[in-house]
Structure 1
């Protein structure tokens, strides 16, 4: 673009060079000297370089030399290695799908909510089956909390028809995450499609199996892993011929992300899973060019925007290289990515902050180039989201698309020295960890030996420590808490009622004439491998239930895998336990725990530490009584005693504490022996002396807030 002078005239090349000559370009060394001078002696590496959980050091400034030699920089959108996106025209030619999950267990209720949301901006359907359905059991074969809780309960074609009434799945893509195997659920869907007079060739979406993802989450599977691979191959082979728009294999990062893993771990384990599936399919005579386009990758994204953008870009880069290494053609190299906002950083307290979190996560997913996006509801960790919560989540995507116009630029992150360098760093770290898994013998073997679990536990330990000391901030939870907020009402689902209703429905369904169904199931059991798939669809169309289909398709469950699962890790929980204890105490006693600030001296002497102490205590939901300061120790002691507060915090300066603490603390302890006395600050040389006169805790910037607050609540009789 030509340079323009202040009066609007274009500058000649000679004028431009003369202008630039007047301003000398600064070097990195010159900038660093100025930056270090501004730090006033503080170490550059400590203050300006950020160490991430991915063991990547974020620089404070990125330069052209940081991206020199990166091979992917010359690639354009829609070209290998697809860092800049799978399609040349980006979201303008292939609009990003707006997806949502509906957590209704009853097919009729689920359909009502779906109809509403599709009419108000949703463009793709994410159907999450309940636990019973995902494990191939009818409602009366499962436990109460496995039916209709956190997913849709459906066992027959009739159930699926109710759930999808009025929905044309040849126009609106439908994605069903089926768990370990998709064979029975796919048979139900294809039977419904035929019942409607449609063909599978026009179906859009996916019925995807991710057995290793389910194994990592639950620790076991409803069938042997080899049987799951056999089913995966059968459905994939059928879909490649009869349902070309249907994904059949899911590869999800959610177990690793929600388990607390880093972006590098998440990406490495996802790629290892995908490679294991590729090899399993190759062993069953399917080529990489058939299998790779049937894979749909699911990623969770959370708070660090640029790390998440880099993760998604690095995923496409590495997947392209993997497919190339497997001998796949160029059309098989693009990665289809579904992004959902994470649960691990969502909070029960101050829940409306979750809207801000999901907005930034949706931004990261969009800038990162996802194919489809699912924004979680602000209250999803508290209760089943209602229409308002779903609308807020949906409108987040609509605003990013229609008001912020993020889809109008293809790969806006491309060319950023920061993001390109970070993309490369994430890719290199992930590839190294991926190779470690390969040396283990693949993802299944690594999970069996506990390798991913051990890796993630190390990161979780670091996260816990950083959250406890508030090095990592969770707004409204471990910092900037609001103790006077009114918690959301939970509105829990009546699990027993849902279970009974669904159980009765399937029992009544089976009471009808079953002769034809029994015959079709017998034909399925005796079908050869060549005719097994069609026999399953015919049995489903005839009325077989998902439990009957699953039993006929996978009767042998003697060799079920078993591993140590990855448990969902929501980082707010340790602090929420403190708040829960205080809320329960307040409800039982009618009074919230109270802390009195013994502010000493004029405002300038105590205000900084009084403000710090207030925020520190409010994290646990404690009410804080403050004041403008006391001129004498006796005055402060009398006010503290008369307040009746079980907690007193001394707020002043380290220089003044030697004159205050030895006199003030004994007065308080003498009058009220069980008072918990805290001191704001950490005067190292005086710690033992102050403890000897009665100081119970020291609160300061590096303090372990979680531990101190837990001990404090115990001291004042609040059970945690």
Structure 2
């Protein structure tokens, strides 16, 4: 039967309810329940498998940017083109090199003067007169060179408006266990510098609220948001001592966020921030024309790896995409090799071009809040708002951000989240491509050698962490063994035909690869004699039996007993998860352990590498 194309406009999809969907899913799940499709985030938000308008039934979804709580953007339609400044941070030790790289970056489309101030080894040679600071805004964030930067900037008669030269006395030295904001002399000096800068450079933003130390220490989105609000309140109240009204302080604020790998959560985080911030500003009695603050973002260092580093390009692209959809004013995309070396020209160009693709090819500079209206993202945004406000109130009840850090309560809360994140990676419940899944055991790796900076530690430090660090240490240990002449080869005793052993052999191969251990798949073993022949031919220090449960019942214990009797130094294990009683039975036959799904692979690989070290 043919349908007249003119009638197609009258066609419609049938309407279904959530109950219809649940019924259909239950039929597909068979033995599993609908609850198996729910999951928990590190923010203690329960994610549903399906979101509908019922999830927003009692929530007013904002329709346009610049209205109500500003969830869809600070700026109203028509006020400002919804774009962001490409603020790639140039990283080099030498000022002359920085100038050259900045000039090249500007010629290639960058539109702000941004470099890593604290990485420079010759800070005293900085000369802003050598840069086009009149037409191109500065975007400089610093932990320890704020005064020197201001002194350099004050020598310039004209600076482009909307520039940033800022520091955060609260978070700048948390990695060293130091809290500058609790030091009266440091805080007094900082306040004086803010006042001086305001007199000579009134358009420059100088007060930074940098949440990246918390993010890179393992904090979740709720904690980042609550801490950002708490820091802002601290600075507003502190500047009152100098006679500043809240509106004066707000004009100087720059909020700087790190954007992690949970795409939708990061979009919701930035949307939730605007609602939370608008609430704070209303509490201070500011008008809608006074509550606009600058929001900056950088892609996370927490998510980056030295293993399979080119994957970092994809991670950074995903994070940059989320930042732009969430709404930011400045963006830095980390080069893929930032975790283990000074960026080269290639990696810096790729990072910068990531932004240009999103701007010039994906046209993300032409739209405002494209995620708005999504049942999932709107629901996620609302949950973040509620949870972050509740945590902000807890911090406020402790006496504010400084007291919360001094007591160690905030660090303890962050560490709990961090430990959960790391454990999930070690158990492969959270995938890190190239590290705990799809690892390449033959990869040549550039390892990092260094220890966290330590100061006087008058508070509990928040050290920067990368999520794959434990796995990277394993690979470094494996590489050391190989460089000392060890051959990290493990044998797989493959029982039956390919279809019988392949699923578990693939799984074991993937697990061992995370520790740099290669696998030798033995020929198909259908009898005990085949197994004996394979072991006698290879004589490796470690074997893992792979096959079906039925084959294990027939051959598992016999293989263990034969190896134990003839080659007691060989370590043999079996693939699969077994009851305590079954595993004890296997151990009694000489099988030392097992490899199974959601096992702690860091602990497993650590114990296996001991075999080759011995």
User: 1:629 is matched with which residue?
Assistant: 524
Q: Secondary structure at the match of 1:245?
A: coil
CA deviation after TM superposition for structure 1 residue 602, in Å: 1.2
Distance in 1 (alpha carbons) for counterparts of 2:183 and 2:164 = 21
Matches within 5 A, 1:646-665: 646-665=541-560
Aligned partner (choices 55, 59, 66) of residue 55 of structure 2: 66
Asked whether the 8 Å contact 2:170–2:180 carries over to 1, the reply is no
Does the alignment pair 1:674 with 2:594?
Answer: no
User: 1:82 is matched with which residue?
Assistant: 70
Q: CA offsets per residue over residues 240-294 of structure 1, 9 Å max, x none?
A: 4543431110001111100011111111111111111111112321111111121
Aligned partner (choices 120, 126, 135) of residue 171 of structure 1: 135
Matches within 5 A, 1:482-561: 482-488=440-446
Matches within 5 A, 1:304-453: 304-453=262-411
Q: Secondary structure at the match of 1:601?
A: coil
Distance in 2 (alpha carbons) for counterparts of 1:391 and 1:184 = 29
Distance in 2 (alpha carbons) for counterparts of 1:90 and 1:344 = 37
Structure 1 segments of 4+ aligned residues over 6 angstroms from their partners? none
Q: CA offsets per residue over residues 413-464 of structure 1, 9 Å max, x none?
A: 1111110110010111111111110000000000000011000111111112
For the structure 1 residues 90 and 123, does the alpha-carbon distance in structure 2 shift closer, same or farther, using more than 3 Å as the test? farther
Distance in 2 (alpha carbons) for counterparts of 1:230 and 1:222 = 10
User: 1:146 is matched with which residue?
Assistant: none
Aligned partner (choices 46, 57, 81) of residue 93 of structure 1: 81
Once the two structures are overlaid, the 10-residue window that deviates more, 93-102 or 238-247, is 238-247
TM-score (norm 2): 0.94
Q: CA offsets per residue over residues 75-120 of structure 1, 9 Å max, x none?
A: 5212342211122348972531111122211111221222212211
Distance in 1 (alpha carbons) for counterparts of 2:144 and 2:229 = 18
CA deviation after TM superposition for structure 1 residue 180, in Å: 6.3
CA deviation after TM superposition for structure 1 residue 690, in Å: 0.4
User: 2:588 is matched with which residue?
Assistant: 692
User: 1:116 is matched with which residue?
Assistant: 104
User: 2:120 is matched with which residue?
Assistant: 152
For the structure 1 residues 7 and 679, does the alpha-carbon distance in structure 2 shift closer, same or farther, using more than 3 Å as the test? same
Q: CA offsets per residue over residues 176-221 of structure 1, 9 Å max, x none?
A: 2232683443122212x1xxxx235x45411112000114232225
User: 2:510 is matched with which residue?
Assistant: 615
Aligned partner (choices 114, 130, 138) of residue 126 of structure 1: 114
Asked whether the 8 Å contact 2:216–2:464 carries over to 1, the reply is yes
Distance in 2 (alpha carbons) for counterparts of 1:633 and 1:397 = 59
CA deviation after TM superposition for structure 1 residue 232, in Å: 4.2
User: 1:564 is matched with which residue?
Assistant: 460
Query: Max radius of gyration: which structure?
Result: 1
Distance in 2 (alpha carbons) for counterparts of 1:645 and 1:371 = 58
Q: Secondary structure at the match of 2:613?
A: coil
Distance in 1 (alpha carbons) for counterparts of 2:233 and 2:354 = 34
Asked whether the 8 Å contact 2:45–2:383 carries over to 1, the reply is yes
User: 2:222 is matched with which residue?
Assistant: 264
Matches within 5 A, 1:281-296: 281-296=239-254
Aligned partner (choices 21, 29, 40) of residue 31 of structure 1: 21
CA deviation after TM superposition for structure 1 residue 584, in Å: 0.9
Distance in 2 (alpha carbons) for counterparts of 1:489 and 1:227 = 40
CA deviation after TM superposition for structure 1 residue 225, in Å: 3.2
Q: CA offsets per residue over residues 566-594 of structure 1, 9 Å max, x none?
A: 011111011111111111111111x4310
For the structure 1 residues 167 and 35, does the alpha-carbon distance in structure 2 shift closer, same or farther, using more than 3 Å as the test? same
For the structure 1 residues 48 and 409, does the alpha-carbon distance in structure 2 shift closer, same or farther, using more than 3 Å as the test? same
TM-score (norm 1): 0.80
Distance in 2 (alpha carbons) for counterparts of 1:299 and 1:6 = 54
Distance in 2 (alpha carbons) for counterparts of 1:155 and 1:101 = 16
Q: Secondary structure at the match of 1:580?
A: helix
Q: CA offsets per residue over residues 23-73 of structure 1, 9 Å max, x none?
A: 65222122112212211121222x2111000000111111112112324x2
Distance in 2 (alpha carbons) for counterparts of 1:283 and 1:180 = 24
Does the alignment pair 1:463 with 2:427?
Answer: no
RMSD: 2.3
Asked whether the 8 Å contact 1:96–1:371 carries over to 2, the reply is yes
Matches within 5 A, 1:134-213: 151-156=119-124, 159-161=125-127, 164=128, 166-179=130-143, 182-191=146-155, 193=156, 198-199=157-158, 202-213=160-171
For the structure 1 residues 375 and 91, does the alpha-carbon distance in structure 2 shift closer, same or farther, using more than 3 Å as the test? farther
Distance in 1 (alpha carbons) for counterparts of 2:516 and 2:420 = 25
Asked whether the 8 Å contact 1:80–1:333 carries over to 2, the reply is no
Distance in 1 (alpha carbons) for counterparts of 2:536 and 2:135 = 71
User: 2:453 is matched with which residue?
Assistant: none
Aligned partner (choices 704, 709, 720) of residue 605 of structure 2: 709
Distance in 1 (alpha carbons) for counterparts of 2:245 and 2:26 = 57
User: 2:183 is matched with which residue?
Assistant: 225
Unaligned runs of 5+ in 1: 131-150, 494-559
User: 1:44 is matched with which residue?
Assistant: 34
Distance in 2 (alpha carbons) for counterparts of 1:70 and 1:187 = 49
Q: CA offsets per residue over residues 457-499 of structure 1, 9 Å max, x none?
A: 1111111221111000100001110112233598x99xxxxxx
For the structure 1 residues 40 and 251, does the alpha-carbon distance in structure 2 shift closer, same or farther, using more than 3 Å as the test? same
Distance in 1 (alpha carbons) for counterparts of 2:567 and 2:80 = 70
Distance in 2 (alpha carbons) for counterparts of 1:58 and 1:88 = 31
